[in-house]
Amino acid sequence: MRIQLNLHITIFTGNSYPPGSAPIFRRKTDAKSGVHYTADLTDMKQNIMRQGGDTA
């Protein structure tokens, strides 16, 4: 549950949790599709492991 909350915060603020870690989602603006987010799976996995979660 904690991981889902962290991802939710990251999507809407562009910041990551815990503070100081790399953003999981990177905001990109596209002329055709508007704003969308791309996930950096490496950072996501590191953040999950840092929080003691399961990456499987």
30-51 pLDDT, tens digit per residue, is: 666 666 656 666 666 666 666 6
48 CB neighbour count, 10 Å cutoff: 17
Cα–Cα distance between 12 and 23 in angstroms, integer? 11
**pLDDT score recorded for residue 16:** 46
Q: What percent of the chain has pLDDT over 70?
A: 0
Tell me the helices (H) and strands (E) count for the chain, helix number first.
Answer: 2, 2
Confidence of residue 19 (pLDDT cuts 50, 70, 90): low
Domain boundaries, the chain: 2-50
Cα–Cα distance between 12 and 37 in angstroms, integer? 10
Spatial contact of 45 and 21, defined as CB atoms under 8 Å apart: no
